[in-house]
Every structure is written in structure tokens, then in C-alpha cells.
Structure 1
């Protein structure tokens, strides 16, 4: 019998990636206000005289998503939270949400290179584990992959944005969907760009004493 596994994300790409690896997670979407959480974390860092590192920001959201699901549902399962953001020119970019912002993003990205950061947070909330240790166990890290973008024309950008796909994905692009023709190369983990790094997930699970194949039915 497979180890119970829960994905705290609404992303169909993450779900499809896990399914392609033989894992069928239960899906529960968190209620985290991502913008408010990041604003508070950045303000706290500034008050302490520091800066919130770019690659730490998607992990912060991933952990918050996993924490939210655990706090609300107390599932007898391993819970995975994920979040992805694109780093470009030293700034972190999430989902554009509007066509205007998506077009502006692509005009800045075309012909250039960015880094896609995908944060992963795992909480082993299985009741048997908690009974033996006294608490849930946690592991997490961020997968970072260099992404090279094609030099799109304005017409190509507007046609892609008109599909609606770029509005609700990190960095306003996909590599596994309609945005595939516009990514010329990646340096790193392809699955991390899709949204969940299978190699990193394997490593994090092993740090909690679980082998990846134990998630398969």
C-alpha cells in the first residue's frame, strides 16, 4: 500500500508531473494569501536590516501552503507544498494575472535568460510518525533552473497572452504547454521548471526516511 501523499497545490502541471512518475496524490488547495505573506516577510526582513533572498521567497510560500493544509485538515499523510517564481534582472516575478502585465513581462524576457525557482516544502504529518516523534517532521529546499527564452515578436507575445495561459503561471510561461515553443533551452531540472522537481522531491523524502517508490500505489 502506498504511503499517503497530499499535494497542497492547484497546479495541474504539478499533478500531471507526479502522475507521470506513478504517484496519485490527494489534492487540497491552501488558502494562503501569497502577496500578503510575501509583503510581511519582506517587511520583517527590512526591519531586521536584511533582505529576503530571492530563492527563499518561493520556499516561504511552499511552506506556508503545506502548513495551512496541515493546520486545517490534520491529514494522516505526507504533505507537499510548492511554489514557483521567475528571477529576472535581480527581481522575482510570480503570476502576472492580467494581460497587460503578461505582455510587459514577455517584452522584458524575450531573447534573454532567467532563473526559475521552485520551492518545495514537505511535512510528514502521518499520525504514526507524530506518535513516535512527538511532532511532524519537515524538509524543504528550492530547485533553481536557468531558462533561455526565444526572441519573440510583438505578434507572438500578444497571441500567446491571448490564450490566457501565461496569466496564471509563474513567470508568465510554461515549458510543458503552449509556452513550449518559446523556451529555447534550460540548464538544470526540467521538472523543476514545470513546477515540482522529482529529483529534489526524492532527496527530501529520503531525508525523512521515505523512498520515492513508496508513494506509488
Structure 2
């Protein structure tokens, strides 16, 4: 039997990535108020004299909040993984655009340029007799975008795909042709870094293969 594992995210791409790696997590979506969680973290960071909260720390704050809310608010008794992603370009964050006009404007900014996709990961070990660990880290990957024409941008946005994903793009679906190259972990751009997840599981005393579904095991 695999070790119980919960994904605290509604991202289909994260779920598909984990399933392709042999893991079938239970999905429990957190109800975290992301704006409030970030505002609180930023205030605490400034009050401690550490200055502004960095983008790679911001995604970690949200990943931790999601994992902890699910671990504390549900009878999980499992390893709980929370994730969050943000795209950084020129010192600014481009999150989920939410509407077509914003998505078009984002792509007009992104085309032909390079950004950094930050994906925070946080695990809470909520298992009875488990390690009790709560650990996290961020994977940051450089992404070079194609120089799209206005027609290409409008056609892509019209599919609806860019509206509800960080940075208004995917690399594993319709947005794939518009990503020229990646420097770093491909899976982190999709939504969950499998190598980083392996390291975080190790900090909980768990090997990645212990999450594999029974049909994968030899």
C-alpha cells in the first residue's frame, strides 16, 4: 500500500504530473485567502527588518498556507503537499490574469522575453507516527518566450487556457509552442518539481517510491 498522500491544489497539471510519476494523491483544495496570507507575511517580514518579501519566498508562503490549512482542517493523516507558482519578469509578478484583456496585455509584455517561474512546495507530515515534519522549498526556472504576433496572442487567449494559470501560459498543453526554451526543471514549470518533491519527502523520512500506486510496484 502506498503512503497516504494529499495534494492541496486544484491544478490539473500538478495532478497529471504526479499521476504520470506513479502517484495517485487525494485532492483536497484549500480555501486559503492568498491575498491576506501574502499581506500578513509581507508585514511580518518588514517588521522583522528583513525588507521586502522576495518572490521566491512569496510562493513558499502560499504553498505553506495551503498545506497547513488542509492538514489542520481535514482528517488527512497523510503527507500533504501545497504548491503555488508565480512568473517574474523585470522585477514584477505576473499571476493568473483572470480575464482576456489582462491575458493579452500580459502576453504583449512577455513575448520575446525571458521570465522566471517560481514554484513553491510545502509538505506537512500529518501521518500518525510520522515525522511531524513541515518543510518546503522553491524551484525557480528560467523561461524564454517566443515572439508572438498579436494574432497568435489573441488566438491563444481565445482558447481560455491562459486565464487561470500563473503567468498566463502552460508548457505542457496549448502554450507549449510559445515557449522557446527552459533553463531548469521542466516539471516545476508545469506546476510541481518532482526532484524537489523527492528531496522534501526525504526530509520526512519517506522515499518517493513509497508513494507509488500498487500497479507500479514491482
Name the TM tier (shorter chain): over 0.9
1:11 is matched with 11
CA distance in 1, matches of 2:56, 2:182: 17
Taking structure 2 as the reference length, the TM-score comes to: 0.94
- The aligned residue for residue 35 of structure 2 is 35
Aligned counterpart for 2:182 among listed residues 169, 183, 186 = 186
1:174-193 CA distances to partner (integer Å, 9 max, x unpaired)?
00011001001000000000
| Root mean square deviation of aligned Cα | 1.1
Q: Stretches of 4+ moved more than 4 A in 1?
A: none
The whole-number CA distance in structure 2 between the counterparts of 1:108 and 1:8 is: 31
Distance in 2 between residues matched to 1:90 and 1:13, nearest whole Å: 26
Length-normalised TM-score, structure 1 = 0.95
Give the whole-Å Cα distance in 2 for the aligned partners of 1:82 and 1:16.
14
Total equivalences in the alignment = 212
Structure 2, unpaired ranges of 5+: 214-218
Which position in structure 2 is the counterpart of 1:169? 165
Gaps of 5+ in 1: none
Contact 1:6 1:27 in 2 (8 A): yes
Tell me if structure 2 keeps the 8 A contact 1:74–1:125: no
User: Which structure 2 residues correspond to residues 1-217 of structure 1 after superposition, within 5 A?
Assistant: 1-49=1-49, 50-129=51-130, 136-217=132-213
Indicate conservation of the 8 Å contact 2:117/2:140, yes or no.
Answer: yes
Deviation, structure 1 residue 42: 2.3
Q: Distance in 2 between matches of 1:40 and 1:93?
A: 20
Distance 1:46 1:78 in 2: 32
